[in-house]
Structure formats: structure tokens, C-alpha cells
Structure 1
Amino acid sequence: MTTSDPACATAQGDLLPDRGPRTLVAVFETPVAEHLIRFAADLGYRTVLVEPQPRLLAGTPKPHGDQTVASIATAGLDEHTDVVVTDHNRPELGAMLRDALDAKARWIGVMGAKHHTAPHVGALKELGVDDAAIARVHRPIGLNIGSRTPAEIALATLAGLIADRNRRPGGFAF
């Protein structure tokens, strides 16, 4: 049965989803990044893992996305790219965010609880980034679903990105 509602037709398999070009860049190898990459691939994103310390990629095979690179500069960011920094304690935080801001990524966010200090602000100021650019960095990120596990955090983050792309508030408000 074909319906005139594109969302219903897509859900029933009668219409291929129109995802448009989109890339998810997960910065730093973490358990949340692993889930972000896995889930984002299922959602139709091209996925990139940025990990400047190659030793962290060694060991047990993990999902590293369509591409693994050592820097934001080589990740291929553009206006269709969403950047999620998955560790706010890494010394490379400021440089990674500065480079993402310079590349004009569509959306940039740093994981971290709202009640903790936002270390990215100081790191970016030390690098000479202006307040308007710093304000483009989202924190906290994702929908507020009470996430506790890496998979739940990744799910909430991707749901928030999809809501933002579709200009929706997220949650159960329609």
C-alpha cells in the first residue's frame, strides 16, 4: 500500500530515504565514538574517526568508520559535516576544535555534563579563537534521555543531530 506521506512511505519501504550528503566525524577513540560510528553508518552518514595518537587505535579491532585520520585537517570537513568530540580532557581538544571551526563544519559539539566546567572555552581562547566562533561549539550535546552507557550517549547524540538537521526540537514535541 502506497501512501502520500513520505515518512510513512519510507518507513514501509516504499520510498528510499533522502538523506542528502552528510558526514559524522567522531574525534578521539573512545567507547562512545565506537557507537557513534556504528550507529551513524546505519543512519547513512559517511563516518570518520579522528585520532591523533595512533597507539590508541591498536589492539582489539573496533569500528573506525569509513576513514581514520590523525587530524581534522585531513578529515574532509564541509558544510554537511557534524563533528562530535568524545573526550573533553584530551590535550589536543583546543586544536581539534579550532580546526573544525576553521573548516566551517555544519555542527560542532563536545561531550560533557552541563554541571562541569567547559574546558574547551579556555583552550580555544588560548589559541586566539574569538567568542563568536567559540559560541558555535555546542555543549552539552544530544537529547536529554538520561543516557548512562556509551551506546545510550551515542544514541542521544545522533538523535539530537538528526533533530537539528530536520529543524525539530527533539523529544516528544511534534
Structure 2
Amino acid sequence: MTTSDPACDTAHGDLPPDHGPRTLVAVFESPVAEHLIRFAADLGYRTVLVEPQPRLLAGTPKPHGDQTVASVTAAGVDEHSDVVVTDHDRPELGALLRDALDSKARWIGVMGAKRHSAPHIEALKQLGVDEAEIARVHRPIGLNIGSRTPAEIAIATLAGLIADRNGRPGGFAF
């Protein structure tokens, strides 16, 4: 039964969700990236895994998204793309973030707790990226729900991206 409230109609399955085009680019194969890709696909995102070291993709079949590529530039990043870097300790961090900053990405973030250093800042400075561009990289990312597992971290991250896309702060403040 269709009502005059599209949100209610969608919740009841009477109206398909209209979230527009969106892409989640998970950078680096990791347990969190696996969950991000799986959950993002359920949320209607086109999903891309960027892994510059193909040997890390070998072994047990894992969800690698709609596309797996070796670089951010090959990921088809556009203004509808959210780029999430899932490992802040990889040597490729600076170069991949620089490429993300050079793209039209809507949002760019690096996982990592506030209590840890932010190695992406120094890596980007060494590559000549200016302070204003570095400031576009979000860290920490996701909603503060006390995530402890890869699946919880992925949920918090995706919830934060949805809140940001909808112009909301996240949490229970309405």
C-alpha cells in the first residue's frame, strides 16, 4: 500500500530506494575491506577493490567487489565515489592517497584511531601534496560506535558515509 511518505513506502518495500549513483572504493585488501565491499553492495554501491600487490589477492575466494584494480586511477573514481583506505601502514599509502586527491572523489578517508599517528600526512607531504589537499583526507572515519571487529568497523564506516551523503551528523541526534 503506497502512502504519501516515500521513506515509509521504501521501508515497507513498496518503493525501491533512490540513492543515485554511488561507488565505494576500498583501498587495500583487508578483513575490513571484505566487509565494506559486501555491505556496500547490499546498500546499492558499485564496489571496487584497489590492491596494488596482486599476490595479496591469492588464496581463498573473498568478495573483491564489482571490480578489482591495482591503482586508484584505474578504479573509475568520479564525483559519486567514496574512497576508503583500510590500512594506514602500507608503503603505497602516500601514492594511492595522492591519486585519490587528484581524482574527483566525493569523499576520501583513511582508517585509524585518533590515538595513533597519522602516517598519511607525512607520506603526502613527502610527495609534495599541499596542506589544503591533505586536509581533505578524513581520519578517523565512521561513526563512533565502539567498533571492535572488521564487520563493525565496516558498518560504522558505511553509516558515516551515508550520514555524510545525507547531510546528517550520524548518531542519534535528529
Counterparts of residues 22-61 of structure 1 (less than 5 Å): 22-61=22-61
Is 1:141 the counterpart of 2:141? The answer is: yes
1:62-102, Cα deviation, whole Å (9 max, x unpaired):
00000000001100000000000000000000000000000
Return the alpha-carbon distance in structure 1 between the equivalents of residues 107 and 4 of structure 2.
Answer: 32
| Structure-2 residue corresponding to 1:64 | 64
1:126-164 CA-to-partner distances (Å, cap 9, x unmatched) read 000011100000000000000000000000000000000
Return the alpha-carbon distance in structure 2 between the equivalents of residues 6 and 99 of structure 1: 38
Identity among equivalent positions (%) equals: 87
Write the mapping of 1:82-161 to structure 2, written as runs, cut at 5 A: 82-161=82-161
What CA distance in whole angstroms lies between the structure 2 residues aligned with 1:132 and 1:4? 44
User: What residue ranges of structure 2 are gaps of 5+ in the alignment?
Assistant: none
How many matched pairs? Answer: 174
**C-alpha separation in 1, matches of 2:34 and 2:116:** 24
Q: RMSD in angstroms over aligned alpha carbons?
A: 0.5
TM-score for the superposition, normalised by structure 1 = 0.99
Alignment of 1:8-23 (within 5 A): 8-23=8-23
Runs of 4+ residues deviating >3 angstroms: none
